[in-house]
């Protein structure tokens, strides 16, 4: 029994330096954000893909009539969608603002929140998308990757029509 306890304690102590080396930092998360931002500005879907986990998924909520629609896409679908969008669009503008990063108490994962604004011209019209992004990060084969991006997007005019309708019919 004493031998079992001793070997367990030794195993735990030997594994501690390994876990400490795998801890995620705010700076590492910021580096991933910066790299994917540069890839976005360069319209480089493959560059973005190198920072996405194999199990990556993007979950987007957006207004549809007076309801909120929700779409979930896998990594391969997401990369295909952005590549096609960039290929068919004209000028492209990308900006990230209001970024907040948190590392989880265990140090093995983290999250970020930020607002991403994209403008593109399609068929002569400027389209604007603003997305409040919530991303999660973990290590995959020793590298820090994004495991999920979720959030809420509004296209074009960011005042939903149903809110305007309700406001105009609301009693004073």
pLDDT score of 114 more than 60: yes
Cross-strand bridge partners of residue 125: 122
pLDDT of 47-102, one tens digit each? 999 999 999 999 988 878 888 889 999 999 999 999 988 887 678 888 999 999 99
Q: Identify whether the C-beta of residue 96 lies closer than 8 Å to the C-beta of residue 118.
A: no
Name the average pLDDT for the chain.
Answer: 81
65: exposed, middle or buried (Cβ count in 10 Å: 0-12, 13-18, 19+): exposed
pLDDT of 139-169, one tens digit each? 999 999 999 999 987 665 443 343 344 444 4
Q: Identify whether the C-beta of residue 119 lies closer than 8 Å to the C-beta of residue 4.
A: no
Rg (CA), the chain: 21
Q: Which domains does the chain have, with CATH numbers?
A: 23-165 (3.10.450.50)
């Amino acid at each position: 029994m004493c031998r079992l306890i001793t070997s367990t304690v030794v195993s735990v102590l030997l594994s501690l330096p390994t876990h400490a080396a795998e801890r995620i930092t705010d700076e590492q998360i910021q580096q991933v954000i910066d790299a994917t931002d540069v890839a976005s500005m360069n319209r480089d879907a493959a560059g973005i893909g190198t920072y996405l986990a194999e199990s990556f998924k993007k979950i987007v909520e957006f207004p549809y009539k007076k309801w909120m629609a929700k779409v979930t896409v896998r990594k391969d679908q997401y990369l295909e969608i952005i590549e096609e969008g960039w290929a068919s669009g004209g000028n492209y503008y990308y900006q990230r603002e209001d970024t907040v990063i948190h590392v989880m108490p265990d140090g093995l994962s983290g999250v970020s929140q930020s607002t991403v604004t994209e403008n593109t011209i399609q068929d002569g019209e400027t389209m604007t998308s603003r997305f409040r992004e919530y991303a999660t990060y973990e290590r995959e084969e020793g590298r820090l990757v994004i495991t999920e991006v979720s959030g809420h997007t509004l296209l074009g005019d960011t005042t939903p029509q149903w809110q305007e309708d309700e406001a105009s019919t609301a009693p004073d």
